[in-house]
Structure 1
């Protein structure tokens, strides 16, 4: 239904958090073999065929582990069609955004969790942080959960964004493209080729 309504669909891929007691049962564990990662990613994407992007669900431990997140990004880059990646930034130590770009995947980072704290006043404060970040930098990627107080705020505030001078865009509009490397070689005659 989201795709039919013109919205981007993203796979919210469970990954291992630092606090194992909070872990989603489907979370990719740190150190998973490449074949396991590929198989689980393939299955998740097959279950959500309209997805165009991926972000991490939890994943503070997984995204901070260079070898694990690189294994994941290799599997994502090897998909038969391109996907973008949004780093949920569930830890300041995350390497996911950089790893995505290094593997040729367009990527973005979350700037604000609107409802990092529950409750109406906390969610409203998160909303204001999101708008302030967008004013200051020109754009802001936010994550919000389907909590009742979050949904009520979105229902009330989203229709007012344009009047406040903001444009709501899909995540793909705020992606950083991977850097394309240029190689310069010098021949024995001293001429340069690009």
Structure 2
């Protein structure tokens, strides 16, 4: 015991000379247990010091970063900041104004609409006429340019993507002649299909509202004199070559006053009238003054509509073919396929038809398949040549 005490009291760093005769030191069971306990504590401390979270809390020590450590590595040594939630854009519960031509609105960045036609019109207000585009006429409201120059052709146009891929415009006419046929056509046809209303029809205002609520762009059919008139008669208020300018303009205004919210008129028959520039000239000038477009059904190669529209600045579209001259499903689908080929060749194509059940059903089927092939179905305003559009 005396030797052990002296061992402890000996100054640090001084060794004892080995003695061959001195017996080897032995530890008691208590001493051994104490040593094992100390080792266990040291091992646990080591694991805590070098272990992963959550066993230790990282301590950031402000020391100069070595020259060969990149800033990104230095940042990685610091605790990651709690991610902040990404603010979501607020929804606009009110009506949104959709412009056909892109404008610099200064809106929120990072929001891209790839397909405007999928977004569509604000259907809750599409049937409401813009009061600034209405002139009071003797027979009813007449379309007109607003004081700031806006045209019905622009304001009532259905939006589309604006891309320059293959586009097909389909116009189905004869709406409002048969009430059941009109209801069926409006309900079945996709909103991208343009609807043309017969001026001789009934309840045009009512059907206009229904069509607009469902996203259709609409136009009015204008009865014009054919070559074998009056044996073939487009109906009352037909514009004729022998009538005076005033008579024809009065008949035109009667047609225009039948409803509102349309972008253009198209000829109903009229091979003779559309070939006479003297008779047709004042009519086209009136359309230009009112901001209304014109669709030529393409049935007459003698039509002077292109020359007059260019002269007066009227938006003009010309149909490539009538899709239902033969009222049989297979023949109609073949015509629609021809439209697709034309659109792929020149960028766009226009087809016209009537609201027969077979035509409506064929168009519905073909449109669904054409979209899968990359064809965009667009309103007639999207393919019109517009002298005022830059």
Counterpart of 2:356 (choices 138, 147, 152) is 147
Q: Corresponding residue for 1:157? A: 366
Of residues 200, 216, 219, the one that matches 1:7 is: 216
Alignment correspondent of 2:278:
67
Deviation at 1:179, TM superposition (A): 7.7
Q: TM-score, normalised on structure 2?
A: 0.44
1 or 2, which has the higher helix percentage? 1
| 2:235 paired residue number | 25
Range with greater deviation from structure 2 (139-148 or 170-179): 170-179
CA contact (8 A) 1:37 1:75 kept: no
Any conservation in 1 of the 2:296–2:318 contact (CA below 8 Å)?
yes
Q: Summarize the alignment of residues 172-187 of structure 1 with structure 2, pairs less than 5 Å apart.
A: 172-178=381-387
* Offset, 1:97: 2.4
User: Aligned partners of 1:75 and 1:32: how far apart in 2?
Assistant: 16
1:119 corresponds to 2:343: no
Gaps of 5+ in 2: 1-209
Matched, 1:103 2:319: no
Deviations 1:92-121 (A, max 9, x none): 111112212211111111111111222223
Asked if structure 2 preserves the Cα contact closer than 8 Å seen for 1:115 and 1:122, the reply is yes
Per the alignment, in what secondary structure is the counterpart of residue 12 of structure 1? strand
Report if the CA contact (8 A) 2:226-2:272 is conserved: yes
2:245 corresponds in structure 1 to 34
Return the offset for 1:145.
1.0
Query: Does the 8 Å contact 2:239/2:252 carry over to 1?
Result: no
Q: Report the Cα distance in structure 2 between the residues aligned to 1:9 and 1:42, rounded to whole angstroms.
A: 17
Distance 2:325 2:383 in 1: 22
Return the alpha-carbon distance in structure 2 between the equivalents of residues 160 and 120 of structure 1.
15
Deviations, residues 126-177 of structure 1 (Å, cap 9, x unaligned) = 1121111111111001101112221120121112221111000111111112
Match of 1:51 among 233, 238, 262: 262
Is 1:167 aligned with 2:367? no
- What value does the CA root-mean-square deviation take over the aligned residues? 1.7
DSSP 3-state at the match of 1:24: coil
Contact kept in structure 2, 1:59 and 1:90, CA below 8 Å: no
Cα pair 2:298 2:321 within 8 Å, conserved = no
Between the aligned partners of 2:387 and 2:242, the Cα distance in structure 1 is 25
Aligned residues: 178
Counterpart contact for 2:265–2:293, Cα < 8 Å: yes
Report the TM-score when normalising by structure 1.
Answer: 0.85
- Alignment deviations for residues 54-86 of structure 1 (CA, whole Å, 9 cap, x no partner): 11111111111111111210222233xx11111
Greater CA drift, 45-54 or 116-125: 116-125
Quote the Cα distance in structure 1 between the aligned partners of 2:315 and 2:361. 32
Q: CA–CA distance in 2 between the matches of 1:44 and 1:37?
A: 11
Matched position secondary structure for 2:227: coil
